[in-house]
Structure 1
Amino acid sequence: MNTTHTEKKAKPVAPKVKELIERSKSVILATVDAEGNPNSSYAPFVQVDNTFYILVSFMARHTKNLSEGRKTSIMFIEDESATKQIYARERLTIEAATSQIERDSEIWNNVVTKLKEAHGKVVDVISEMGDFILIVLQPVKGSYVNGFGSAYFVDSNLEIIEHRNDVNHQSK
């Protein structure tokens, strides 16, 4: 019997990425201020196509960073209580371009309606407050991890483009 070694290229289907996002109600935010100081936070979101929208208050540090279009990373991560291995939680990390949506524009109205559907009546109240703004988070590129040795590059359409096999774990 002739056996040849073939490299198995496990490639999760894109719906796995989409399922992780669908299981999430909020997105983790990593932003930087004008001096380069990091800030981490979170915000409830809604997804329209491959774009994410958040309604955030200027009372939060991250809002100024987001509104000024500074470097931003967002993350969706499997709930700790649902994971089988804490070191290998399923996660999607995305570099995102940010911009502010004009209040009462067509996009504002459509997205706020979707936010109300997703997160309830509280959106009626906060969307009327003057310090709340609507931010778009447009994916640029990222990575998806769903276990040890199972890390993939993701494009701006949230599609898996290749296995991240450039760095291997090494034994001591």
Structure 2
Amino acid sequence: MNHTNSQEESQRKAKPVAPKVKELIANTQSVILATVDAEGNPTSSYAPFVQVDNIFYILVSFMARHTKNLASGRNTSVMFIEDESATKQIYARERLTLEAATSQVERDSEIWNNVVAKLKETHGKVVDIISEMGDFILIALQPVKGSYVNGFGSAYFVDENLEIIEHRNDVNHQSK
């Protein structure tokens, strides 16, 4: 085995720790959303978020197509991704993709009030304005499972607690 293959093998077996996943989330202000409507038509969008007790919360308007999809209770996919300007390799951006169960939080409930306060603390006074608008609702995104990628050949399954479970693929990329 040559030196390059040995490095690749070591990299594949070097399992990242959960704090690395949590660091990516902490360095991200918005989450990318992938939703589907009742007819199966896809919609992608984004929303600023906060995380409370391993649940992600977004404040979204019914004027946006994705909000109806989220409010329907259908599962969605969310992605946290390294900023393009910070990446060393555009093809291998660090990212966390999660399947998430969605639920709407009741307006003026204890959870609503706590999360809206945290959204304001994180994203500013605009939250005071939009949280009072009737078309804005608070959606909880509960992670189900997902994957974390931090380079070529470095992809891992992630559980609902955002913990690394195992390497996603023991087969290296194949040469042509």
Please, what TM-score do these two structures have when normalized by structure 1?
A: 0.94
Cα RMSD (Å) of the superposition?
A: 1.1
Deviations, residues 32-82 of structure 1 (Å, cap 9, x unaligned): 000000000000000012110000000000000000011300000000000
**CA 1:40–1:49 in 2, change beyond 3 Å: closer, same or farther?**
same
User: Where does residue 88 of structure 1 map in the other structure?
Assistant: 92
Determine whether 1:25 maps to 2:15: no
User: Where does residue 39 of structure 1 map in the other structure?
Assistant: 43
Greater per-residue helix proportion? 2
> Aligned with 2:173: secondary structure?
coil
CA deviation after TM superposition for structure 1 residue 165, in Å: 1.8
User: Where does residue 153 of structure 1 map in the other structure?
Assistant: 157
After TM superposition, which residue ranges in structure 1, 4 or more long, deviate above 6 angstroms? none
User: How many matched pairs?
Assistant: 167
> Aligned with 2:74: secondary structure?
coil
Deviations, residues 70-107 of structure 1 (Å, cap 9, x unaligned): 13000000000000000000000000000000000000
Determine whether 1:109 maps to 2:113: yes
User: Where does residue 54 of structure 1 map in the other structure?
Assistant: 58
Within a 5 Å distance, the mapping from 1:67-146 to structure 2 comes to: 67-146=71-150
Unaligned stretches of 5+ in structure 2? Answer: 1-5
CA deviation after TM superposition for structure 1 residue 167, in Å: 4.7
Amino-acid identity (%): 89
> Aligned with 1:100: secondary structure?
strand
Distance 2:111 2:143 in 1: 18
Distance 1:146 1:123 in 2: 32
Unaligned stretches of 5+ in structure 1? Answer: none
Deviations, residues 106-127 of structure 1 (Å, cap 9, x unaligned): 0000000000000000000000
